[in-house]
Structure 1
Amino acid sequence: MPVNTQAGEPRRPPFDAEAARRLREALGMTPAHVAYGIGAAFGIRIPPATVVSWEDGLGTPTEAELTALAGALWCAPGELLGAPDTLRAYRMTRGLAPADLALRIGMDQAAYERLEAGGRWSGNDRQTAALAEVLDLPLPALIRFTGRDGKLTELLTSAATTRWQAYVRPVGKVVPLPKHRLQDVLQELHADYQATMTATLNWGGSGSADESGRAGRAFLDGILAEFWARAGTEQP
């Protein structure tokens, strides 16, 4: 199903200001040296004060500026990025231009760029597998970027609230994990949800049913993150 791959994605990359300062100082360069290098090699004219503002966390370079900064600091762009959380950030961490990534996953460049600008993923299975491989995506990120996180949440909710055994196969179609691991995780989620509901009902008092409902909703609200944690795959 086509989905939005980047709702609310920031226009600028997740810049690591401390890394930029550390790399510059390790090279014995001043902000003026960096600004000169960016202008000389990449034709991007910025004052030294801009480099200082980036390092102080008061500003963030654009993608073009980040690439130029990495060149001036003799490092890969990924070394200047924080933890990636969007499709664009993962691409930049790998040091790939949109055209390069589009070519490697077999997608039209304009179509790929629309994805990063807030478009909808409608790639086929081959393109999905290529995207995961080229960007080295963690499984939770792949599921999110290809729009399957909503479906997975629905299945996990049903597994926790009804018969978990009936959802091993459907969840397995969404998440390519070993069957035995899925069985263990779904059984644990079901047991914990039921225990949560039972415990709150046993508190006693007229408000116990309301308390149970709130506790149950809170559990289900976090069920996707809990699934990834129990499956041994970190949530990005």
Structure 2
Amino acid sequence: MPVNTQAGEPRTPPFNAEAARRLREALGMTPAHVAYGIWAAYGIQISPSTVASWELAESTPTEAELTALAGALWCAPGELLGAPGTLREYRLALGLAPDDLALRIGMDQSAYERLEAGGKWSGNDRQAAALAEALDLPTPALIRFTGQDKKLTELLTSAAATRWQAYVRPVGKLVPLPKQHIQDVLQELHTDYQASMTATLNWGGGEGTDDSGKAGRAFLDDILAEFWERVGRQRP
């Protein structure tokens, strides 16, 4: 079933203005040198003032300009970007064109471009694995981009509130982690959720039950973030 691709909406790339300036200065180049290099190698005409504007974070380069700037500065596009957050940003960081990435994961280019623009993931497990490999995606990002975060949240909520043992296998089907690792994290979530409920009930007063409900809902509202944090903490 097609599912929404979370965090796939296009936005301005997280351009690292300071990195662009630092790399240029390390090469002994002026903004004029960079502008000329971009025009000579990529045929994109920009002014030295535009390069300076990028470095002052007053404006940001387009995707084509970013690729050309990286070429002029002899660096990878990822060195000019902050931490990627969207599918498009992960692709830009590696300097991949949409058609190249679509070919690598075995997906029609137009289908991939719709996905990157915030469309729906309808690929299979093989394509998801290929996407993760091509973009070197961390597991949380892969889960988001393939629209599985909602399902994972539901499983984690049930695991914390009921018998966590019953959810080890379903969670393992979504998250490629060792079984023991998943068991440990689910048990932690269950224990902490139950403890939060019990603690508020012991506060005393007539509103104890209501307070425990609020504490429990607050814990469950953040359960996906808690899961990833604990997964990272338990990694060797």
2:74 corresponds to: 74
- RMSD (CA atoms): 1.6
> Are 1:212 and 2:212 matched, yes or no?
yes
1:23 maps to what in 2? 23
- Are 1:94 and 2:102 counterparts? no
SS at match of 1:20: helix
Which amino acid is the alignment partner of residue 197 of structure 2? M
TM-score (norm 2): 0.94
Residues 231, 130 of structure 1: alpha-carbon distance in 2 compared, 3 angstrom cutoff: same
Quote how far apart the aligned CAs of 1:6 are: 4.8
- Which residue does the alignment assign to 1:228? 228
Question: Is the contact between residue 21 and residue 55 of structure 1 (CA under 8 Å) also seen in structure 2?
Answer: yes
The structural deviation recorded for 1:207 is 2.8
Contact 2:77 2:93 in 1 (8 A): yes
SS at match of 1:232: helix
Give the deviation of 1:40 after TM superposition.
2.2
Task: Give the Å deviation of 1:144.
Answer: 0.8
SS at match of 2:69: helix
Relative to structure 1, the CA distance from residue 83 to residue 26 in structure 2 (aligned partners, 3 Å threshold; closer, same or farther) is same
Same amino acid, percent of matched pairs: 82
Normalised to the residue count of structure 1, the TM-score between the two structures is 0.94
1:128 aligns with 2:128: yes
> Is residue 61 of structure 2 the alignment partner of residue 61 of structure 1?
yes
How many residue pairs get aligned? The number is: 234
One-letter amino acid of the counterpart of residue 68, structure 1: A
The AA in structure 2 aligned to 1:102 is A
Deviations 1:156-185, CA, capped at 9 Å, x for gaps: 000001111111111111112111111111
Q: Secondary structure at the match of 2:35?
A: helix
CA contact (8 A) 2:121 2:147 kept: yes
Tell me the equivalent position of 1:40. Answer: 40
In 1, Cα distance between the equivalents of 2:38 and 2:22? 17
Greater shift, 114-123 or 38-47, is seen at 38-47
CA contact (8 A) 1:91 1:97 kept: yes
SS across alignment from 1:231: helix
Q: Return closer, same or farther for 1:83/1:7 CA change in 2, 3 Å cut-off.
A: closer
Distance 1:7 1:77 in 2: 21
CA distance, structure 1, for counterparts of residue 7 and residue 224 of structure 2 = 18
Distance (Å, rounded) in 2 between the aligned partners of 1:91 and 1:8: 12
Equivalents in 2 of 1:88, 1:192: separation in Å?
Answer: 36
8 Å Cα contact 1:6/1:87 also seen in 2: no
CA shift for structure 1 position 133:
0.9
Matched letter for residue 74 of structure 1:
W
Task: State how far apart, in whole Å, the 2-side matches of 1:61 and 1:76 are.
Answer: 15
5+ residue gaps, structure 1: none
Equivalent runs, 1:148-187 vs 2, <5 Å: 148-187=148-187
Query: CA separation in 1, counterparts of 2:94 and 2:105?
Result: 14
Report runs of 4+ in structure 1 exceeding 6 Å deviation: none
